[in-house]
């Protein structure tokens, strides 16, 4: 009985992840209507797990449900972005300061290795916006993991999903990848110096500049 009760949940979560990735890749663009029937048919599922998946994405802010009109990919306003970046700045700068004080040498080495991957991905001859963004996110999430506050991690994960709706705009701004890399270098220098105040400030500057590029 337990296996049967878990199957529907696993299915709608799988569908939610498939839709989530289609939204992040812009296959389903902001403001576009989500054709529930067609997608359910394409996936070979009934409308029930499809609707449950959309409820999950609506809770995350990726989908907006409109009465008698269905589900739409959320369009993020400038106000939305400002609010999201403000909260991310508060949460992640606090985590950075904590890591500067408390991280052990092995954890610092992990962050250095991730930063080196970021450096490599930013090289002109092999620059890949998607790869740079993926490594950048891994760096930020690893820093949060080291700070070890699961409630903060959960909030940041949800906020970053909304931020991803606009990521292409910010990544494609001329020179933004190089600017972001320079900001990461400053964060790493503050971490290496074990300076929590500097880490907090550098991370706040990183998000402030990120918001400017995003709007």
* pLDDT > 70 fraction of the chain, expressed in percent and rounded: 92
* Residue 74 per-residue DSSP state: P
Give the C-alpha distances (Å, rounded to integers) separating 211 from 17, 77, 80, 171, 172. Answer: 26, 12, 11, 11, 13
Give the confidence band of 163 by pLDDT, cuts at 50, 70, 90: confident
Top pLDDT among 64 and 171 is at: 64
Whole-angstrom distance, CA of residue 210 vs CA of residue 80: 14
pLDDT at 170: 61
Once rounded to an integer, what is the mean pLDDT over residues 49-61?
93
pLDDT at 107: 97
Contacts of 125 (CB under 8 A, 6+ apart): none
Q: What is the mean pLDDT of the chain?
A: 89
Continuous segment of H or E residues that includes residue 70: strand 70-73
Regarding pTM above 0.75, the answer is: yes
Contacts of 197 (CB under 8 A, 6+ apart): 97
Question: CA angle, corner 157, sides to 154 and 159, nearest 5?
Answer: 110
pLDDT at 172: 60
């Amino acid at each position: 009985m337990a296996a049967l009760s878990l199957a529907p949940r696993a299915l709608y979560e799988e569908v939610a992840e498939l839709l989530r990735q289609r939204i992040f890749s812009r296959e389903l663009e902001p403001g576009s209507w989500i054709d529930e029937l067609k997608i359910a048919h394409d996936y070979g599922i009934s409308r029930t797990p499809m609707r449950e998946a959309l409820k999950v994405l609506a809770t995350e802010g990726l989908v907006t449900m409109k009465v008698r009109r269905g589900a739409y990919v959320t369009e993020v306003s400038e106000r939305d972005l400002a609010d999201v970046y403000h909260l991310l700045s508060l949460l992640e700068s606090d985590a950075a300061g904590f890591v500067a004080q408390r991280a052990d040498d092995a954890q610092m080495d992990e962050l250095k290795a991730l930063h080196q991957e970021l450096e490599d991905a930013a090289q002109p001859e092999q620059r890949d916006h998607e790869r740079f963004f993926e490594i950048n996110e891994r760096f930020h999430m690893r820093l949060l993991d080291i700070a070890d506050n699961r409630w903060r991690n959960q909030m940041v994960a949800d906020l970053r999903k909304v931020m991803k709706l606009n990521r292409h705009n910010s990544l494609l701004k001329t020179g933004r990848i190089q600017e972001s890399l320079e900001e990461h270098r400053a964060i790493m220098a503050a971490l290496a110096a074990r300076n929590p105040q500097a880490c907090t400030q550098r991370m706040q500057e990183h998000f402030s500049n990120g918001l400017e590029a995003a709007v």
